[in-house]
Chain A
Amino acid sequence: MAIVERPRIYEGTRIPSPIPTVLRTPEDLRENDDVLRVNFGPNHPSMHGVLRLIVDLSGERVVGTEAVIGYLHTGFEKTMEQKTWWKAITYPERIDYVGFQNDELVFVLAIEKLLELEIPQKAVWMRMLLCELNRIHSHLVFLGTGALELGAISMFWYCFRERDLVLDLFELVTGVRMHTRYFQTGGLAEDIPPGFYAECRTFVDWMPKAVDDYESLIGRQEIWLDRTQGIGLLSADDAIALGQSGPVLRASGVDWDLRKTQPYLAYDEVDFDVPVYPNGDVYDRYRVRIDEMRQSVRIVAQCLDRLEGMEGEPWIADDRKVVLPPRHELHTSMESLIHHFKIVTEGYRVPEGEVYVAIESPRGEKGCYVVSDGGPRPWRVKFRAPSFVALEATATCMSDALVADLIAIVGSLDSVMGDTDR
């Protein structure tokens, strides 16, 4: 039996200096030792997307790391400046293409903050429900692909089985499996379709059992523990200094979740726990995400309870300057036709100002900084991408790592390259 070394969180700091994101090969090693420089990525089967790591190896030990990003840069922020506000909503969900619903939410919340628009309760709760489903979806992708990279192939099939259930729910509500564009400024694009609650209830009953399945598959499995415990260490102080958020921060023992500490939507009205683990290793990051899936199911169930009592209530704000008029009115009302035409062609105007909105996306603090000059198009849109920040921690996590752990460590930071490069 292998000896499982218990994880120890280090004293002091391990952030490299002077460049915090680059682990430099020590001078004496580079001169006297046989250091091998390996280019890992941007195209490699075990990389999440197109991340490139330049790794210096001394034997099996990683002595130098530098992450190179930008291979998926598509200029979303620049493109959004050219679109009217309501057309720009399509873009954020393509940035973080795994946590799409949360990205859509943060941009819509930013517009609504500038407009000072109140949204109906039904929309609030439905947004929360979909964002939590999306969180489950994102964590399933992490767990499935993360385990696959360490050789646990069956996890992938199990996780993607439930992932499909989530996507089926999205399809039922929005007609699209991913990148739904279901959140509209002022509320939701359409009413919740009949039959959704029943389907979602079935999923809520099923999902906890599925999480039990995952845990029984790898949660106590010797190889999984060996390969995840005590590696990729990140202390609480270093995590904060490096701007880490979300599951990575909570796995380092910091009890910080924006849904609790700075609640948005109606998160202060639902009952859920924030999982926190103290060791800051790959295993704890996995534990946090497993527990978060259970908590998300709890939130979804509470949202369903509320939503079922809201039959017939409006799902979008009644503000004709911003919200498209109901379709049937276009045939009978001249004003509605004009409003529809103006919003579609010219777009609505958003008052001058700047706002920063932050939400807890599956990967951590997703921020959206928006500047409006009072026109129909955003002047500036900037996303605070948690994946971008997470990759800044690679150098710190990778000190003392073995080359075999490298994949597990990068995987545990759960970066989505679309989000990193935007």
Chain B
Amino acid sequence: MTFESVPGLVETRKEHDETTLVVDPARILAACRHLRNVEGFNFLSDLTPSDYLGWGSRGVAGYYGTDKGRDLNAPAGVGASVASQAFSRVPRTKPKRFSVSYHLLALRADPARVRVQVWIDEGEALESVISVWPTADWHEREAWDMMGIRFEGHPNLQRILMEDDWEGHPLRKDYPIGGEPVRFSGEE
């Protein structure tokens, strides 16, 4: 299956037997509509935002060294000072901070899956795909609640998992872990 006619297509990747279509965020709605109507992807499995803040930098899960590998002559404390990190490389850089992945499924006799991915920065919004797949309703609300991704045209973009008056978006990488004030405990 080729996806050359998908509107706004930037790049097609194939990894682990999965096809990823990177799409221009401004044209996500047109791309999704095309994929449903022309390519037959009638089922939205999942919609996942990911935060890549600090990707490949120090102190996060994947820090090992420079992009050429570990520098053996670097003084301790700089670069890869942890000996076990060997010659691992820093991961490939990402174009922007957030990715939003739409996992589509063609529910028919010869099933197919595809991942549509868009890259956006803090403050950028995406068009809602509720008109294409109604199931996107809660998925988009969850993406807003957890990651702070705004979806334009969503009729009811409110928090879904957290309380209505919650501040911040918990799944972002800069959201602190712990340190939440505990209600009642030790309260006068």
Q: Which residues of A contact B159 (CB under 8 A)?
A: 70
With beta carbons under 8 angstroms apart, the residue of B50, B64, B107, B137 that contacts A374 is B64
Q: Which residues of A contact B91 (CB under 8 A)?
A: 352, 373-374
Docked-complex contact B15 and A353, CB < 8 angstroms: yes
- Return the chain A residue nearest B131 by Cβ: A18
B120 to chain A, nearest CB (A): 16
Given the complex of chains A and B, what is the CA–CA distance between A382 and B51 in angstroms?
12
Given the complex of chains A and B, what is the CA–CA distance between A22 and B156 in angstroms?
9
For the complex of A and B, the 10 pairs showing the least CB-CB separation, nearest first, are A373-B62, A243-B135, A20-B134, A375-B61, A375-B62, A384-B46, A70-B161, A377-B61, A18-B155, A73-B161
Known A369-B103, A379-B61; contact A389-B135, beta-carbon cutoff 8 A = yes
B60 on the A face (CB < 8 A):
yes
Q: Which residues of A contact B134 (CB under 8 A)?
A: 15, 20, 241-242, 392
- Return the chain B residue nearest A393 by Cβ: B135
Chain A count of residues within 8 A CB distance of the other chain: 55
Q: Which residues of B contact A73 (CB under 8 A)?
A: 161-162
B144 on the A face (CB < 8 A):
no
Given the complex of chains A and B, what is the CA–CA distance between A16 and B18 in angstroms?
34
A227 on the B face (CB < 8 A):
no
Q: Which of A354-410 contact B (CB under 8 A)?
A: 354-356, 358, 365, 367, 369, 371-380, 382, 384, 388-389, 391-392
B29 on the A face (CB < 8 A):
no
Given the complex of chains A and B, what is the CA–CA distance between A372 and B138 in angstroms?
26
Given the complex of chains A and B, what is the CA–CA distance between A377 and B177 in angstroms?
16
Docked-complex contact A254 and B107, CB < 8 angstroms: yes
Q: Which residues of B contact A379 (CB under 8 A)?
A: 50, 52, 55, 61-62
Stretch at the interface among B2-10, B37-45, B69-77: B37-45
- Return the chain A residue nearest B163 by Cβ: A70
A1 on the B face (CB < 8 A):
no
Cβ proximity bits B84-117 to A, threshold 8 Å, 1 near / 0 not: 1000110110000000010101010001010100
Cβ proximity bits A1-42 to B, threshold 8 Å, 1 near / 0 not: 000000000000001001111100000000000000000000
A61 on the B face (CB < 8 A):
no
Known A346-B84, A367-B103, A379-B62; contact A373-B56, beta-carbon cutoff 8 A = yes
- Return the chain A residue nearest B115 by Cβ: A356
Given the complex of chains A and B, what is the CA–CA distance between A113 and B88 in angstroms?
20
Q: Which residues of B contact A354 (CB under 8 A)?
A: 15, 20, 101
Known A78-B177, A356-B113, A373-B60; contact A19-B45, beta-carbon cutoff 8 A = no
B68 on the A face (CB < 8 A):
no
Q: Which residues of A contact B161 (CB under 8 A)?
A: 69-70, 73, 421-422
B59 to chain A, nearest CB (A): 11
B109 to chain A, nearest CB (A): 8
Q: Which residues of A contact B156 (CB under 8 A)?
A: 19, 21-22
A75 on the B face (CB < 8 A):
yes
Q: Which residues of A contact B84 (CB under 8 A)?
A: 342, 346
B152 to chain A, nearest CB (A): 14
Given the complex of chains A and B, what is the CA–CA distance between A342 and B92 in angstroms?
25
Docked-complex contact A70 and B160, CB < 8 angstroms: yes
B66 on the A face (CB < 8 A):
no
Docked-complex contact A353 and B16, CB < 8 angstroms: yes
Docked-complex contact A384 and B45, CB < 8 angstroms: yes
Given the complex of chains A and B, what is the CA–CA distance between A323 and B134 in angstroms?
43
A82 on the B face (CB < 8 A):
yes
B31 to chain A, nearest CB (A): 18
Interface size class on chain B is 35 or more
Cβ proximity bits A61-93 to B, threshold 8 Å, 1 near / 0 not: 000000001100101011001100000000000
A267 on the B face (CB < 8 A):
no
A153 on the B face (CB < 8 A):
no
- Return the chain B residue nearest A352 by Cβ: B91
Known A22-B156, A240-B107, A392-B135; contact A352-B130, beta-carbon cutoff 8 A = no
Docked-complex contact B135 and A382, CB < 8 angstroms: no
With beta carbons under 8 angstroms apart, the residue of A77, A116, A374, A389 that contacts B88 is A374
Q: Which residues of B contact A262 (CB under 8 A)?
A: 111, 113
Q: Which residues of B contact A75 (CB under 8 A)?
A: 170
A261 on the B face (CB < 8 A):
yes
Given the complex of chains A and B, what is the CA–CA distance between A223 and B142 in angstroms?
39
A160 on the B face (CB < 8 A):
no
Given the complex of chains A and B, what is the CA–CA distance between A372 and B46 in angstroms?
18
Docked-complex contact A82 and B133, CB < 8 angstroms: no
A397 to chain B, nearest CB (A): 13
B48 on the A face (CB < 8 A):
yes
Given the complex of chains A and B, what is the CA–CA distance between A18 and B52 in angstroms?
33
Docked-complex contact B160 and A356, CB < 8 angstroms: no
Docked-complex contact A367 and B111, CB < 8 angstroms: no
B151 on the A face (CB < 8 A):
no
A158 on the B face (CB < 8 A):
no
Other 11 A-B pairs with CB < 8 A, given A78-B175, A114-B16 = A70-B162, A73-B162, A242-B135, A356-B18, A356-B101, A358-B113, A371-B50, A373-B60, A374-B62, A375-B63, A384-B45
Docked-complex contact A243 and B43, CB < 8 angstroms: yes
Cβ proximity bits B165-188 to A, threshold 8 Å, 1 near / 0 not: 000001100010100000000000
Q: Which residues of A contact B42 (CB under 8 A)?
A: 240-241
A256 on the B face (CB < 8 A):
yes
Known A22-B156, A373-B60, A382-B46; contact A349-B88, beta-carbon cutoff 8 A = yes
Given the complex of chains A and B, what is the CA–CA distance between A327 and B163 in angstroms?
47
Q: Could you name 15 residue pairs across A and B whose Cβ atoms are closer than 8 Å?
A: A77-B171, A78-B177, A114-B16, A241-B42, A241-B133, A254-B107, A262-B111, A342-B84, A349-B88, A352-B62, A378-B61, A384-B46, A384-B103, A392-B137, A392-B138
